[in-house]
Homo-oligomer: A and B are copies of this chain.
Amino acid sequence: MARWEPNARERLVRAALDLFTEQGYDATTVNEIADRAGLTKTTFFRHFSDKREVLFAGQDTHTRLLADAIDAAPGSATPLEAVRAALDALTATFTDDRREFGARLRPVIAGHTELQERSALKRAKLAEAVTDALHKRGVPEPTASLAAELGIRAYHDAFDQWADPAGRQTLTELTRHVLDELRAALAALD
């Protein structure tokens, strides 16, 4: 029978990132991650399907935050205004104490093709969730998916800036700024 392990998920993520930083991603086993977190391998697999997945913890929560905020946006909001509200809701959860965590996450993913692959698909799935939420508001294709992809791109670009230990701006400020820049740049396409 499963025991209740307080903060198991977060402990596993922190242990994994510590080990990846210390000894490399390839050299780290699921057993070691569980050991370091003071948990069992069984508990690991209750939370994550594989070693890669531990680096993308939070994807479900992020998806839900985005979709809920788009549902809650006023009926008068344009597609991009709804996306902006969703990004505000998502990025508000990235408090300053998570910045250093983000800074250590990035080089691990950048150093492994298999992690980049999963990251690319995760990003596409996040955009799909935003697209679906916009469809529910009656936004047609391809406007909905364009607004979604622009928003997710702004979030990712801003995250890269935010995950700099020397940074001062919040992820919310950075994301708003990048989205404004992207919006303005669309005018220069042709």
Contact = CB atoms under 8 A, between A and B. Distances in A.
Interface of A: 78-81, 113-114, 116-118, 120-121, 123-124, 142-143, 146-147, 149-150, 153, 157, 181-183, 185-186, 188-190
A79 to B, nearest CB: 6
A185 B81 CA distance: 16
Nearest to A139: B188
A36 to B, nearest CB: 27
Contacts of A186: 146, 186, 189
Contacts of A117: 114, 117-118, 120-121
Interface centre among A78, A81, A124 (most CB of B within 10 A): A124
A86 to B, nearest CB: 14
Contacts of A183: 189-190
Question: What's the dominant secondary structure at chain A's contact region?
Answer: helix
B149 A149 contact: yes
Given A149-B149, A182-B142, A182-B146, A80 B189 contact: yes
B120 A189 contact: no
Contact of A143 (B78, B142, B188): B188
A181 B144 CA distance: 13
Given A116-B121, A121-B113, A121-B117, A185 B78 contact: no
A10 B80 CA distance: 44
Nearest to A141: B185
Contacts of A81: 190
Given A120-B120, A183-B190, 9 more contacts: A79-B190, A114-B117, A116-B121, A142-B157, A143-B188, A146-B185, A146-B186, A147-B189, A149-B149
